[in-house]
Amino acid sequence: MEEIIIKKQRQMTFAETLDFCISSIRHRFMRSLLTLSVVILAVAFFMFLQCSNIFRNSVKEGVEKEILENRKAARILNMLYASITEKDFVSMLVDARKSPGDFDRLAKMLGKDQKQMQAFVDNAAQEMIYLRFFEKLPFGKRKALFGQNKDSAQLEMLLKEGAFDEFMKKTRELGGIRIPGGEDQLKTYLDAYKAYRKELKDSFAKLQAVRNSKAFPARTANGKELKERQVLAAHLLSLNEQKKINPEWRDKLAALNVFITDDETKMIVDYLDVQERTNKVKTLLSDEAYRIRWRQVYGKNQYSRMDEKLAHLDTNKTWRVFNEAPSQQKRKLRELQHVIYFGGNPDEVQNLPDDQLKLIPRTDLESIRKNDDIQKELQKLELQLDINTLDDAKGFTPDQIYLMCLSFLVCVVGITNAMLMSITERFREIATLKCLGATDSFILIQIVLEAMIQGVIGGIIGLVLGFIVALSSSVFQVGLRVFASFDWSMIGLAALFSLLAGVLLSVLSSLYPSAKAARMAPMEAMRVE
């Protein structure tokens, strides 16, 4: 008869354990589906929250970049054709301090080297500080100090013989006036002021020479040259496809010491494109024919209420329309009766070709805001277009954080509960395995591994799901722009985080019940129901 020799039970190899797990999951696929779907939902939710935030931020960055480019183009064009006052010119100089490109261009145009230009610009900035300060003084005090003089005339007044001492005396008498930088600094500044004013006048004349040369057609009332401008824009646009500036135009500008790069040309072309469409809006807004049509569509009584209707389109709604994908704009506009931008009634909108629907891209909001005429027009209608609505999008809002914490809690409870249930209902099976010679560690490893596999599979499905939902909801909200500025590294990070959360939660919540099951005597485990 064979003697019983008791040894340690061999440990299953990892490959064997994995094999066992996979076949176990495969066999009880429907059962695993419950746990799996909880994991999927949890991970998808995380992914969704993170991704939609990433999308919104990157869209916002993209929009901001476009706005900055538009502003830059506007600055260049202002230099080329806008009829600006001397005061505007000072602002332009002061602004140039912050933009190296503008600074260099202005320096070249005015024939100054870096150092001279810097001194010139600093003087301009200083002047602006003083003038702003004077402007902000209470009316009575300002009158007592400067009489009828305004703007730079105030500073020039102080240059007269004895005027400065008189001014300081009055200042002290009036009290409560603290000159920026102090008395001495103002005195020093005034010593050089005359020379600066002369320099400024000369420079301004140079700028006007550029404008007068009509290197770029100026804006006039009759609209004839406006047409020319559009032609030039079209010309630039066609050349720009090769990313080259029109040489004729470049030479013309170079003769005036104005240098514009290819990139800047592109910005200008984009800007003009936007402007052109903005002008269309403007024309529409003031078009009597349109008003007549409105009356036809909405009836006589409704005519006077047109303004109200427009005012009804509050900031958010308007913004939302511009954020729609082109195909959605149509629907949304119809919904909002946003017909004014088309000059048609809602039914007509339905039949409009798509390119007309794209009348106003998002960034136009900025140009509309900057365009005084339209702004006035819109103000009359109490309709404000504000790009700042996007500012809320940065980072997680408290609402989102709250939602995230709540969802995390729900996930923890959900996954833990699902795991606990699925393991508890397998106690009998586990006990049987132990009767057949499974070691405690095998049971533990097998169940945790199974949870991990479920976590990974559920996590990956959840990732994809969350990503798709976030993407489609973002496309619905802000349009196809989402695809323009994809931040893959951020999305990858979000994916990693969501996946880790899913796997970790599954593993952690399976650890306790499986350890409990593994350590129990088989009969005890079998009794648990």
Partner 1 sequence: MPYDPVEYAKGKEVLVRVHHIEKTYHRGAEVTHALRNISLEIYRGEYICIMGPSGSGKSTLFNMIGALDTPTAGRIFIDEVDMAQLKASELAFLRCRKISYVFQQFNLNQVMTALENVTLPMIFAGKSPEDARKKGMRLLERVGLEKRWNHRPKEMSGGQQQRVAIARSLANDPSLILCDEPTANLDFKTGKDVHNLLYDLNKNDGVTVVCVTHDHNMLTVSDRMLWLSDGLIDRIELSAEVDIRRAQIARKDGQELKV
Q: For 175-246, where are the alpha helices, taking DSSP H only?
A: 183-212, 224-240
Measure CA 504 to chain center: 34
HSE on the CB side for 462, CA within 13 Å?
33
> Residues near 186 by Cβ (< 8 Å), separated by ≥ 6?
130, 179
Q: Is 437 in the site for partner 1 (CB under 8 A)?
A: yes
* CA dist list (Å): 60 to 72, 112, 358, 366, 395: 18, 38, 20, 13, 11
Q: Is 331 in the site for partner 1 (CB under 8 A)?
A: no
Closest to partner 1 by CB, 176 vs 437, is 437
Give the shortest CB-438-to-partner 1 separation in angstroms.
6
Which two tokens mark 319?
């913004």
Give the shortest CB-394-to-partner 1 separation in angstroms.
51
Query: How far is 52 from 469, CA to CA, in rounded Å?
Result: 9
Specify the amino acid at residue 249.
Answer: W
Q: Is 2 in the site for partner 1 (CB under 8 A)?
A: yes
Stretch that binds partner 1, among 9-17, 363-371, 382-390, 498-506 (CB under 8 A): 9-17
DSSP annotation of 341 reads G
Residue from 57, 389, 439, 473 binding partner 1 (CB under 8 A): 439
Give the shortest CB-497-to-partner 1 separation in angstroms.
34
Q: Is 425 in the site for partner 1 (CB under 8 A)?
A: no
Entry field: residues in the chain: 529
Binding mask 16-35 for partner 1 (x = CB under 8 A): x-------x--xx-------
Q: Is 436 in the site for partner 1 (CB under 8 A)?
A: yes
Give the shortest CB-25-to-partner 1 separation in angstroms.
10
Closest to partner 1 by CB, 280 vs 428, is 428
DSSP annotation of 148 reads T
Which helix (DSSP H) or strand (DSSP E) does residue 355 occupy? helix 354-357
Query: Among residues 212, 219, 161, which one has the least CA distance to residue 190?
Result: 161
Count the residues of the shown chain that bind partner 1, applying the rule CB under 8 A.
Answer: 32
Give the shortest CB-452-to-partner 1 separation in angstroms.
19
Measure CA 195 to chain center: 44
Stretch that binds partner 1, among 8-16, 306-314, 405-413, 505-513 (CB under 8 A): 8-16
Query: How far is 361 from 355, CA to CA, in rounded Å?
Result: 11
Which two tokens mark 316?
């958010």
Q: Is 440 in the site for partner 1 (CB under 8 A)?
A: yes
Contact 476, 320 (CB under 8 A): no
Give the shortest CB-10-to-partner 1 separation in angstroms.
5
Contact 301, 312 (CB under 8 A): no
Q: Is 97 in the site for partner 1 (CB under 8 A)?
A: no
Q: Is 12 in the site for partner 1 (CB under 8 A)?
A: yes
Residue from 7, 115, 136, 224 binding partner 1 (CB under 8 A): 7
Closest to partner 1 by CB, 398 vs 437, is 437
Binding mask 469-488 for partner 1 (x = CB under 8 A): --------------------
Query: How far is 335 from 321, CA to CA, in rounded Å?
Result: 10
Residue from 68, 153, 209, 435 binding partner 1 (CB under 8 A): 435
Query: How far is 381 from 340, CA to CA, in rounded Å?
Result: 12
Four-CA torsion 345, 346, 347, 353, nearest 10 degrees: 90
Give the shortest CB-13-to-partner 1 separation in angstroms.
9
Give the shortest CB-21-to-partner 1 separation in angstroms.
12
Residue from 22, 163, 405, 521 binding partner 1 (CB under 8 A): 521
Residue from 279, 432, 473, 485 binding partner 1 (CB under 8 A): 432
Closest to partner 1 by CB, 209 vs 523, is 523
Closest to partner 1 by CB, 14 vs 402, is 14
3-state helix, strand and coil shares in percent for the chain, rounded to the nearest 5? 80, 0, 20
Q: Is 496 in the site for partner 1 (CB under 8 A)?
A: no
Closest to partner 1 by CB, 401 vs 521, is 521
Residue from 71, 301, 362, 523 binding partner 1 (CB under 8 A): 523
Give the shortest CB-435-to-partner 1 separation in angstroms.
5
Residue 257: Cβ-neighbour burial (10 angstroms; 0-12, 13-18, 19+): middle
Closest to partner 1 by CB, 169 vs 519, is 519
Can you give the C-alpha Rg of the chain in angstroms?
36
Residue from 142, 331, 428, 516 binding partner 1 (CB under 8 A): 428
Say how many C-beta atoms besides its own lie within 10 A of residue 256's C-beta: 17
Give the shortest CB-450-to-partner 1 separation in angstroms.
13
Which two tokens mark 128?
């602006």
Which two tokens mark 405?
């914490």
Which positions touch partner 1 (CB under 8 A)?
Answer: 1-4, 6-10, 12, 16, 24, 27-28, 428-429, 431-440, 442, 521-524, 526
